[in-house]
Structure 1
Amino acid sequence: MPRRALILVEGSRFNAPLYVQAALRLGLHPITLSADPAQYDYLASEGIEAIHVDTDDLDALIRECSRLRATYDIAGITSVGDSFYATVGKLCRYFDLPGPNATSIERCCDKFTQRQLLAEVGVLVPAYRLAANRMDVESSAAEIGLPVILKPAIGTGSRGVRLCRNLDELAEHTTYLLGRQHIWLSPPRILVEEFAQGPFYDVATMGNAIVAVGAADFDRPPHFVPRESIFPAPLTDEEHERIADVSLNCLRAVGLGWGPANIEFRWTERGPVVIEVNPRLPGWATPRLIQLAYGVDIINEHLKLVIGEEWDLRRRHSRTAAARFLIPECDGVLDRIEGGSLAVAIPGVAEVKLYVEPKTPIVRKGDFRDTMGHVIAASPSRAETEAILQRAIDLIGWSIIPLPPVR
């Protein structure tokens, strides 16, 4: 009888290793298809099968999966990020496997189209305009009023997203986006949108079910580098219900009735304003936080859905889990980073991960890639969790040798 395999299209630093581990627990043989398998160090360290293939070429992926079917029983196909999730939907349809609707994914990943779909059903979104050149950006910002957010209409991980508080910052980031520094996979399309101000909330869903609502904040503007995330969010029952209702309305509006999604809000003077709907599980350390807070392994349950098995989102307990991210204060070369072993020994600390090692060049990009590591803690209360987290963070130190000034 052929071995059951799970096909993963590409990987990631955060969630992909968890998908691999979950697949193994479910008795599956994980196989990663990637244009560059060497970029994922966990594949070699865990001895996971990886195959080089052009993941931007649907026909090439179909050929590779057809070849693998001669050896394996392909139980499911998925991806950890939304960049390849529409492709996953097409592969699942071709091979008659459970999977997302590719058309819905593609519409959702286009932030301008997503904004239109949400606004049509009355979901509150920031004021927005689509721009293709400098003149468009300037006129759109003038109509909306500074400050504004400039972001690529298609993109993930806050890449290219910036708060522009004045005309100089607007001109600078427009130059960045339209120049050669930002990589576009299609003709440039820039979303200019109102800066919705207020607390940030993050909703994880599966199918049409609300799994969890968390809160997060970010490092210094004008960029959006995650600093801390906590589950559950400090909301009243009424606020939680309101966010849940809007979340389900979002899923209906963009056609995401299958699989995971992640909806980001700012609670403004107008109420909850939707910043983005992402057709995938939340990133960062969120799956781990949800597991610690509620006993729900959303990655494991997602894979059960992918392979057509019964899934279970029932909560086993109620705790408060939080993550703090380590963010460099300057560019340069990492001289030292230490204290992780002391931090993880503190009762209540669930995980300490350092993503970088001494002698690593530190070049900040203004998005999630700037984080150097994280600490996760959990306890019965928010106050206790935050205290544990702070004690652990205080034990971790690093130093960066700044780069000499350019002359």
Structure 2
Amino acid sequence: MGKRVLILVEGGSNMRLYVQAAQGLGLHPIILSANPAQYDHLAAEDIEAIRVDTDNLDALIAECSRLRATYDIAGITSAVEWTYATAGKLCRHFDLPGPNPASIERCCNKFAQRQLLAEAGVPVPSYRLAANATEVESSAAEIGLPVIVKPAVGSGSVGVRLCRTADELAEHMTYLLGAMHILWPSPRILVEEFAQGQQYTAQIMGNEVIGIEAADLDPPPHFVFRQWVFPATLTDNQRERIADVSQNCLRALGLGWGPTNIEFRWTKRGPVVIEVNPRMPGFPDPQLVQLAYGLDLVTEHIKLVIGDEWDLRRRHSHIAAARNLVPDRDGTLDWITGDSQAAAVSGVTEVKLYVEPKTPIVRKGDYRDCLGYVIAVSLSLPETEVALQRAVDLIDWSIIPFAAEEE
């Protein structure tokens, strides 16, 4: 039998983490992707990326069957939401450990998720499903402004907006029912009550709540994450209530295999579930958990995928935090500096810039609105926050508005 391989069906922002973790476990990672060119940067590391229609289960089965003739396929998984259920179907076809694809698919439909949680008595915002402008308006009237309006399927806060007035509702409705057809040919829109309060995320592996993270977002109407702290500073009561609701979510949605992350808002009535994500969280959650607890979520997930026993014990207890570098205007990035100095700050573990000078900056109101990030860790929250802020203060940039360039 050939070398043991881990098949990765698409990768997203966590791809490098999965590649490195697989290699650390003695596995050879092979990527199946509709666009393998996006992984060209891994070619130098002898990582194979194969073109295949990842929306076509039969095509994926055929490709995995072909690979199985040469390799020992130890496991199959995905690092992104839109192909995670498909990876689960492949696991079932090839009799490999994997998540329940039906549970993943139900959970990825935000309306179906809301229904199952509400039926189980899990606290969720009031919600309605709409398919056209009239239904959006009547749903908002029933719930009462302000409301959150978002696609019923999607991730990364794409298309999510707080609408405070009828005019804002009409504007966003036009956007979702028009431009969003590019992403969703038959868009279904979720209209929800605006749950106000501190945002938390429960990081879960299997049925175990590993820890709870606090997050701060930019001011509405959009929901762009600005900062994360892990673990969050919570009372025992808050921690217990979030953990209890998390377990209820897993039962209601048929989850409990592998990673799950659940977003909450702590409201006047306690924890309210904003979203259950039945997959490995994206940046920076795996990095913060590893820095804070010495626990590599990605490695432990791969162990589960290949049938090995995982180890979810904490190795230490630190406080880790990350800050996104978010622009305050559209335009052309003239210059950006200070990353090297920021990386030299004591306590800072990583500084990354995504953009180069002369790059057009067009804010979209979602995860793509980020110039880079800074991560820091220490033994205490005050020390971590000081290191993070010192590093962020050293990074500066200039954006020339498009109108000024034309003049």
Q: Which residue of 2 aligns with 1:160?
A: 159
CA offsets, 1:137-182, max 9 Å, x none? 0000000001100010010111111111111110010000000255
How far apart are 1:404 and its partner, in Å? 2.2
Matched letter for residue 9 of structure 2:
V
The 5 A counterparts of 1:65-104 are 65-104=64-103
Which structure 1 residue ranges, 4+ long, deviate > 2 Å from structure 2? Answer: 39-47, 180-186, 404-407
Q: How does 1:122-271 map to 2 (within 5 A)?
A: 122-181=121-180, 183-271=182-270
> 1-side partners of 2:97 and 2:292: how far apart?
29
Q: What is the match of residue 17 of structure 1?
A: 16
Q: How many Å apart are 1:220 and its aligned residue? A: 2.5
SS at 1:222 equivalent: coil
Contact kept? 2:181, 2:187, Cα under 8 Å: no
State whether residues 199 and 264 of structure 2, in contact with CA within 8 Å, keep that contact through their aligned partners in structure 1.
Answer: yes
Give the distance between the partners of 2:231 and 2:304, measured in 1 at CA.
24
- In the alignment, which residue of structure 1 is the partner of 2:365? 366
1-structure distance, mates of 2:280, 2:24: 19
**Where does residue 273 of structure 2 map in the other structure?**
274
- Which residue pairs with 1:3 in the alignment? 3
Deviation at 1:35, TM superposition (A): 0.6
1:358 CA displacement: 1.6
1:329 partnered with 2:297: no
The normalised TM-score by structure 1 is: 0.97
The CA distance in 2 between the partners of 1:283 and 1:385, in whole Å, is 21
The equivalent residue for 2:119 is 120
**For 2:262, what is the secondary structure of its paired residue?**
strand
Decide whether the 8 Å contact of 1:79 with 1:85 is kept in 2. Answer: yes
CA contact (8 A) 2:331 2:360 kept: yes
Counterpart-to-counterpart distance in 2, 1:107 and 1:21: 30
CA displacement, residues 248-299 of structure 1 (integer Å, 9 cap, x when unaligned): 1101100012111010000000110000000111112110000011111001
Pairing of 1:384-395 with structure 2 (within 5 A): 384-395=383-394
Aligned letter for 2:256?
G
Structure 2: distance between partners of 1:173 and 1:164: 8
Once residues 234 and 134 of structure 1 are traced to their aligned partners in structure 2, the CA distance between those partners, rounded to angstroms, is: 42
In the TM superposition, residue 47 of structure 1 has moved relative to its aligned partner by: 3.6
Partners of 1:44 and 1:195 in 2: how far apart?
A: 45
Counterpart CA distance in 2 for 1:144 and 1:304 is: 45
In structure 2, distance between residues paired with 1:352 and 1:272: 33
Q: Return the letter of the residue paired with 1:262.
A: N
Deviation, structure 1 residue 359: 2.0
SS in structure 2 opposite 1:347?
coil
Equivalent residue, structure 2, for 1:352: 351
Are 2:311 and 1:312 aligned?
yes
1:329 aligned counterpart, secondary structure: coil
Q: Is the 8 A contact 1:344 1:352 kept in 2?
A: yes
User: How far does residue 335 in structure 1 lie from its aligned partner after superposition?
Assistant: 1.6
8 Å CA contact 1:11–1:40 kept in 2: the answer is no
The structural deviation recorded for 1:191 is 0.2
- Code of the residue aligned with 2:343 in structure 1: it is V
Cα distance, 1:11 vs structure 2: 1.5
Supply the distance in 2 between the matched residues of 1:4 and 1:336 (Cα, whole angstroms): 46
Report how far residue 372 of structure 1 moved.
1.3
Aligned partner of 1:9: which letter? V
Letter in 2 for 1:3: K
The Cα shift of 1:384 comes to 0.8
Residue type of the alignment partner of 1:193:
E
Give the Cα separation in 1 of the matches to 2:311 and 2:203: 15
Q: What is the one-letter code of the residue matched to 2:348?
A: V
Q: In the comparison of the two structures, how many residue pairs are matched? A: 406
Distance 1:284 1:182 in 2: 27
Aligned to 1:298: 297
Matches of 1:74 and 1:51 in 2, distance apart? 15
- What runs of 5+ residues in structure 1 fail to find an aligned partner? none
- C-alpha separation in 1, matches of 2:234 and 2:380: 14
**Structure 1 residue 183 displacement after superposition:** 2.8
Please, what is the CA RMSD of the aligned residues? 1.3
Q: Matched residues in 2 for 1:24 and 1:45: separation?
A: 14
Cα distance, 1:44 vs structure 2:
3.3
What letter corresponds to residue 233 of structure 2 in structure 1? Answer: P
Q: 1:96-130: CA deviations, max 9, x gaps?
A: 00000010000000000100110111100000000
Where structure 2 has 5 or more consecutive residues not aligned to the other structure, the ranges are none
- Displacement of 1:344: 0.8
- Deviation digits for residues 184-231 of structure 1 (CA, Å, limit 9, x no counterpart): 334110000000000000111111111110000111311111100000
- The match for 1:400 is 399
TM-score w.r.t. structure 2 length? 0.97
Aligned-partner SS, 1:249:
helix
Q: Distance in 1 between matches of 2:152 and 2:139?
A: 14
Closer/same/farther in 2, CA of residues 78 and 321 from structure 1, 3 Å limit: same
Kindly provide the CA deviation profile for residues 49-105 of structure 1, in whole angstroms up to 9, marking residues without a partner as x. Answer: 100111111111011100111111011111111111110110000000000001000
Q: Is the 8 A contact 1:17 1:42 kept in 2?
A: no
Q: In the aligned structure 1, how far is the partner of 2:354 from the partner of 2:243?
A: 34
